[in-house]
């Protein structure tokens, strides 16, 4: 099996493990399992995969044992993007809850929708340029710059679901009920930790803070 195929296979296996863990946790949390819940599973799993893909460089800067996993970045990022597509497609199927386009253009929902669109657009551009046909035809400097936009996509995605879900997180942090946190809070914290480590890495590389 060639390297590309092996990396795809291992990344897909890993992504399905993440999806399965979110499935079990989300079913247990909401005590039901319909399309509405499956949408949440794909959405939260996508955030974790995109975070891992963007974060592997900074994780391995602070934990060099992870350097070996850098080669998985592209495949985890692409799978995360496919999960985002599944999330958006399921939203369109859930016309009763999220009638399109009316639902998305209300005062309370438009901001979250615009952040979702912007994040999806950046992810789409990254998915396109990650293809070897396009990559070979681009200047390496520009190609690397575009791939750095991944962190922007992650931040936009975090704001997108943070706007709506933060009410439930504050509720949970106030009463600690149910005992386990909402799945979206777990995904959010993975994303925030990834952005924080990236900032620390930049500061460390510029000599502003020392590496441990
Ligand atoms: C055009 C694309 C998108 C649309 C139309 C969309 C729409 C939505 C909607 C309507 C919700 C609320 C769902 C609910 O109340 O259960 C939601 C939640 C969410 N979205 Fe998106 N979204 C899009 C893109 C994204 C992207 C790019 C990401 C991540 C990078 C993302 C991650 C999430 C997450 C994690 C949640 C919270 C799930 C939960 O409640 O557990 N979405 N999205």
Q: What does the H/E/C string look like for 48-72?
A: HHHHHHHHHHHHHHHCHHHHHHHHH
Nearest C-alpha neighbor of 98 from the set 81, 114, 113, 80: 113
pLDDT tops 90 at residue 88: yes
Q: What's residue 109's pLDDT?
A: 97
Residue 119 in contact with ligand 1 by CB distance below 6 A? yes
Ligand 1 pocket test, candidate residues 28, 37, 43, most atoms within 8 A of CB: 43
Domain ranges within the chain, ordered by starting residue: 3-112+163-205
Instruction: Give the whole-angstrom CA distance, residue 136 versus residue 120.
Output: 24
Cα 174 to middle of ligand 1, angstroms: 24
Q: What's residue 210's pLDDT?
A: 80
Q: Mind listing the pLDDT tens digit for each residue in 103-156?
A: 999 999 999 999 999 999 999 999 999 999 999 999 999 999 999 899 999 999
Residue 126 in contact with ligand 1 by CB distance below 6 A? no
pTM flag (> 0.95): yes
Q: Is 106 exposed, middle or buried (0-12, 13-18, 19+ CB in 10 A)?
A: exposed
Residue 87 in contact with ligand 1 by CB distance below 6 A? yes
Residue 94 in contact with ligand 1 by CB distance below 6 A? no
Cα 205 to middle of ligand 1, angstroms: 34
């Amino acid at each position: 099996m060639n390297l590309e195929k092996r990396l795809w296979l291992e990344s897909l296996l890993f992504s399905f493990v993440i999806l399965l863990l979110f499935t079990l946790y989300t079913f247990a949390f909401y005590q039901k399992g319909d399309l509405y819940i499956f949408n949440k599973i794909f959405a939260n799993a996508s955030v974790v995969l995109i975070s891992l893909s963007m974060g592997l460089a900074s994780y391995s800067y602070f934990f060099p044992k992870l350097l070996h996993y850098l080669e998985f970045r592209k495949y985890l990022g692409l799978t995360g993007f496919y999960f985002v597509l599944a999330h958006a497609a399921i939203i369109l199927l859930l016309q009763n809850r999220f009638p399109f386009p009316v639902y998305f253009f209300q005062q309370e929902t438009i901001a979250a929708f615009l952040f979702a669109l912007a994040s999806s657009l950046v992810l789409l551009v990254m998915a396109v340029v990650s293809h070897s046909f396009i990559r070979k035809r681009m200047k390496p400097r520009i190609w690397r710059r575009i791939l750095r936009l991944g962190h922007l996509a992650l931040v936009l995605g975090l704001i997108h679901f943070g706007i709506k879900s933060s009410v439930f997180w504050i509720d949970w942090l106030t009463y600690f009920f149910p005992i386990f946190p909402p799945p979206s809070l777990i995904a959010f914290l993975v994303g925030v930790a990834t952005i924080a480590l990236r900032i620390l890495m930049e500061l460390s590389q510029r000599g502003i803070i020392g590496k441990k």
